[in-house]
Amino acid sequence: MDGVAVPVRNRLRVLRAERGWSQGGLAARLGVSRQTVNAIETGKYDPSLPLAFRIAATFALPIESIFHPDPDGDGVGR
């Protein structure tokens, strides 16, 4: 292992849109700021493990279906 951090991709924006939630609405459900939700969606910030579990619980999905490694490094879900 070379010790280099692997960027993480997420489907947060897609999942949020499917449920018709705003960023502020999702932020309120997660107990974080809208700025944090936006940063996660745009790949500028990777959530901590507890927050990732809260996100998974909010969407009632396994973590692996929301977050996965991003070999291309842009961090945004496709």
Partner 1 sequence: MNGMDCQGVRRMPWYLHPYFAAFLSGGAAIVSSLILKRADPHGAARVAAALLAVPPTAFLAWTFARWIRGLDEMQHRIVFEAVAVAFVLSIVGAVAMEGLQKAGIATGFEWEHAWEGMVFFYAAAYTWTAWRYR
Yes or no: say if 26 and 58 are a contact pair by the CB < 8 Å rule. Answer: yes
- Interacting residues with partner 1 (CB under 8 A): 24-25, 27-36, 38-39, 44-45, 47-48, 51
Least distance to partner 1, CB of residue 38, Å: 8
Measure the CA–CA gap between 25 and 4, rounded to whole angstroms.
34
Least distance to partner 1, CB of residue 61, Å: 21
Least distance to partner 1, CB of residue 58, Å: 12
Q: How far is CA 67 from CA 29, 43, 52, 70, in A?
A: 18, 11, 8, 9
Q: In the complex with partner 1, which residue's Cβ is closer, 27 or 56? A: 27
